[in-house]
Amino acid sequence: MKVKELIDRFEQFAPKAIAEPKDPVGLQLGSLDAEFHHVLVTLDVRPEVVQEAIEIGADLIFSHHPVMFRPAKNLDLSDPQNQMYADILSHHITVYSAHTNLDSADGGMNDWLADALKLSDTTGLWDGVVDPQYMLTVRVQPMYADAVRLAMVGAGAGDLDRYAGASFEWNGTTWYTPLEGADPELGPVGERNHVDELSIQARVQGNQLAKITQAVSEVYPGGHPALEVLPLKNGGHQYSMGRIGTLAQSMTVREFADYCKTVFQVPGLRLVARDLDKPVQRVAVLGGDGGKFFKLAQSKGADIYVTGDVYYHTGHDMLAANFPVVDPGHHIESICKPKLAELFGKWRIENRWDFEISVSQLNTDPFTFI
Give the tens place of pLDDT for each residue, 19-46: 999 999 999 999 999 999 999 999 999 9
Contact 215, 150 (CB under 8 A): no
Chain segment 347-356, per-residue pLDDT in tens: 999 999 999 9
CA dist 267 and 235 (Å) reads 46
Residue 333 is assigned to a ligand binding site? yes
**Does the annotation list 330 as a binding residue?**
yes
17: left (phi over 0), alpha (psi -120 to 50) or beta: alpha
Q: What is the DSSP string of 188-240?
A: -TT--EEEEEEEEEEEEEGGGHHHHHHHHHHHSGGG--EEEEEE-TT--EEEE
pLDDT of residue 141: 87
Q: What span, in angstroms and rounded, lies between the C-alpha atoms of 240 and 243?
A: 8
What are the chain's domains?
A: 3-102+334-359 (3.40.1390.30), 109-128+240-328 (3.40.1390.30), 133-235 (3.30.70.120)
Per-residue confidence at 207, pLDDT binned at 50, 70, 90? confident
62/59 Cα distance (integer angstroms) = 10
From residue 219, how far is each of 148, 198, 242 by CA, in Å? Answer: 6, 15, 41
Model pLDDT, residue 233: 84
Distance of alpha carbon 201 from alpha carbon 167, whole angstroms: 6
CA distances from 24 to 34, 69, 82, 186, 267 (A): 20, 7, 18, 48, 31
- Confidence tier at 367 by pLDDT (50, 70, 90): very high
CA angle 199, 204, 205 (to 5 degrees): 170
Window from 53-57, 160-164, 222-226, 246-250 with minimum mean pLDDT:
222-226
Q: Is 37 annotated as a binding residue?
A: no
Rounded Cα distance, 205 and 133, in Å = 5
What digits encode the pLDDT tens for the residues 112-138? Answer: 999 999 999 999 999 988 888 999 999
Residues near 38 by beta carbon (within 8 Å), at least 6 away in sequence: 56, 57, 58, 59, 60, 355, 356, 357, 358
| CA–CA distance, 109 with 122 (Å, rounded to integer) | 14
pLDDT, tens only, 63-103: 999 998 888 889 999 999 999 999 999 999 999 999 999 99
Residue 239 pLDDT class (50, 70, 90 cuts): very high
Q: Percentage of the chain surpassing pLDDT 90? A: 82
pLDDT at 161 > cutoff 90: no
**HSE-up (13 A, CA, CB side) for residue 323:** 25
> Rg of the Cα trace of the chain?
25
Q: Is 313 annotated as a binding residue?
A: no
State the average pLDDT over residues 217-235.
Answer: 84
Do residues 39 and 93 lie in contact, with contact meaning Cβ atoms separated by under 8 Å? no
Q: Is 35 annotated as a binding residue?
A: no
Q: Check residues 369 and 263 and name the one with the higher pLDDT.
A: 263
Please give the Cα distance from 113 to 243 (Å, whole number). Answer: 9
Q: Taking the model in full, what pTM does it have? A: 0.84
